[in-house]
Amino acid sequence: MQLYNKLSAKERAELIDKTGKNRLTLSFYQYAKIGNPQLFRDHLFITWNTLDVLGRIYVAHEGINGQLSLPADRFNEFKSHLDTIEFLKDIRLNIAVEQDNKSFLKLKIKVRDKIVADGLNDDTFDVTNKGVHVNAEKFNELIEEEKTILVDMRNHYESEIGHFKNAITPDVDTFRESLDIIESDLKDHKEDKNLVMYCTGGIRCEKASAYFKHKGFKNVYQLEGGIIEYARQVKDQNLENKYLGQNFVFDDRRAERISDDVIAHCHQCGDPFDVHTNCANEACHLLFIQCPKCKEEMENCCSTTCMEINRLPYEAQKELRKGQGNSNDIFKKGRTDHLPHKKDLRNIFDHFKTNKV
């Protein structure tokens, strides 16, 4: 019985090309009580592997968080299987704005302590006492109100390439960092302001809204389905699009365009650009924004040092990496001194308070 992926990314890509089938990229999440996450994980793998599902799925005692792709002609089979699971019946599936047959090349279903690393002790507050879910139309109305504070619950490298106008975009590397920062910076407005939050697909806001209500915020709202669902509703209902730029996604597409605005800049030359890349040096893999001109000049590397290393024969590079852990830059997502045009968001709260609150 196969319980783990057995094909390499290259083999899977070749197989996708050979079949010639269009695939759908989608995401979903659900908080629920799962007694045996490992058993549930194995059940999902056995079933989804037969449906040619690929993706990254996290399962925990608190629920499931899935980002995946599957052949478009097997979508109904996949949905029927979800409906056989009580807490996933009729669940909302966020269909990607832009499709790519190779958004995922492996099926990875992992058991984790949590489906989102929030660093919270869920026993200390009621995680079911969530904020008010609002659709795109209501969201557009709310964020234009004077008493609204709009907060982006994503990380700095996500909001840098796209965000809603007038949103607070915390300068954080992780979701858990943003919670205490937001609570502290907005502590004087717990009762007199609307706290409106958004994220990629809604999962981070689901937990954050309950946390902020626990912390005393009286009027808490969250964009239902996140940016992905917002973009769909804007298009289907011909609403005004208040999102600027791209939506960062955690698959091989890296982003999907929501508007034509380019609000970011190449981290190396400063020209307007909003597409992330990973440094070609296997010992670095820094995620940063690099325009086509710099990509050619720097050979897809973030620095001259990495470029020199990447030019070495593979065996020589391998020898240099021997005994070395991963570079911390992997986790910095663009935070490094040799990228002169990395956007600095540290004063965003001060700016917002001066101009909005």
What are residue 177's phi and psi, to 5 degrees? -65, -35
What pLDDT score does 357 carry? Answer: 41
Domains annotated for the chain, with CATH where assigned, are 9-111 (3.30.70.100), 125-239+345-355 (3.40.250.10), 276-332 (no CATH)
Chain Cα centroid distance, residue 4: 24
CA distance 142 to 309: 51
CB–CB of 287/326 below 8 Å? no
Amino acid (one-letter) located at 94: N
What pLDDT score does 346 carry? Answer: 44
Binning the chain into helix, strand and coil, the percentages to the nearest 5 are 35, 20, 45
Q: E strands within the chain?
A: 23-31, 54-60, 63-71, 94-95, 107-111, 132-134, 148-152, 162-164, 194-198, 219-223, 243-248, 255-257, 276-278, 287-289
For residue 23, list its beta bridge partners: 71
Is residue 70's pLDDT more than 90?
yes
What pLDDT score does 337 carry? Answer: 76
pLDDT tens-digit readout, 247-260: 999 898 999 999 99
Is residue 163's pLDDT more than 50?
yes
Is residue 329's pLDDT more than 80?
no
Rounded average pLDDT over 66-79: 97
Chain Cα centroid distance, residue 147: 28
* CA-closest candidate to residue 105, choices 29, 214, 16: 16
Q: pLDDT grade, residue 318 (50/70/90)?
A: confident
User: Is 284 noted as a catalytic residue in this protein?
Assistant: no
User: Percentage of residues in the chain with pLDDT exceeding 90?
Assistant: 79
Q: pLDDT grade, residue 217 (50/70/90)?
A: very high
Rounded average pLDDT over 19-28: 95
